[in-house]
Amino acid sequence: MKTYILGNIRRALVAVCLMGISAASLAAVSISDFYYNRDGGFYEIRTKADLRNLATLVNTGNCCAGLTFRQVADIAFDTISANNFKAIGNAVNAFAGTFDGDGHTISGINIKKSGSGFTDSFQGLFGRNRGTVKNVTLAASRISGHCHVGGIVGQNNPGGTISNCTVTANVSVLASTSKSLYHGGIVGYNRGSVRKCTSSANMSDNGQQSHCYVGGVAGYNCYYVCECTSSSSLSGEYFVEGLVGQNDGGACTGCHYYGSGATIRRYVLRG
């Protein structure tokens, strides 16, 4: 009887372990989960699931260096559910591959953060980038966070490039708490290159105090912003500008801000 009982216990434990392995394997994401287009030499991003899988892949430690992902269709989230998407890249892991939106639109992202920690910062379609993000259009989305928050990228690191990206007027980039910092229509904090991007985003302090470093294109720039345009609406307490909230030793060249009343300001170099 004792042997029979022990045998049943062992079988139960093995079953539990196998269930755990199965659940873990289902939760894991690998590059093999993406369809590889051999003719084009890129991995296809077709659906919400693909975009979420890319976020999981990067956020769990695969920076995707040397890999190219291309969006091959418009992708629409439900616009209602809070936190229906996690940014690609976080406080620990940055995207280092190439993401080509190929002119397609991503819409309906709703990232709602309400705290002031690392998990509430580095928000956007991409949380942190040191690769290439290009040809992306973001529409009908709402992104709130504490620091390093942008429509396309929260923080663009050295070596990172953002080009030919558009954020439409029905996108809101919001402060999550008092003393939220570095919010931009395209990128919150830029240490790389931002080229030929356009933002009409609603940049709002969301009723928070001391919302600082807010820009229609970049909240804070210490490297290069070139040939970008903004017609973003902005609110904040300090360092709030139509293009770059604060330019700290970087360059902002050939850019235009189209404010209310069709006022046009041309930015060249601000230090």
Query: What DSSP string runs through 107-130?
Result: E--EE---S-SGGGSSBSSEEEES
**Per-residue pLDDT reduced to its tens digit, 1-12:** 433 333 443 343
Is the pLDDT at 158 greater than 70? The verdict is yes
Torsion from C-alpha of 189, 191, 196, 197, nearest 10 degrees: -20
Mean pLDDT value of segment 19-47: 78
Q: What is the pLDDT of residue 1?
A: 43
CA atoms within 13 A on the CB side of 198: 9
Fold of 34-267: Pectate Lyase C-like (2.160.20)
pLDDT band at 260 (very low <50, low <70, confident <90, very high): low
Is the pLDDT at 13 greater than 90? The verdict is no
Two tokens at 241?
Answer: 């500008």
**Per-residue pLDDT reduced to its tens digit, 80-99:** 889 999 999 999 999 999 99
Distance of CA 209 to the CA centre of its chain: 24
Q: Which residues contact 31 (CB under 8 A, 6 or more apart)?
A: 43, 57, 62, 64, 67
Question: pTM for the complete prediction?
Answer: 0.87
Domains of the chain, by residue range, sit at 1-31, 34-267
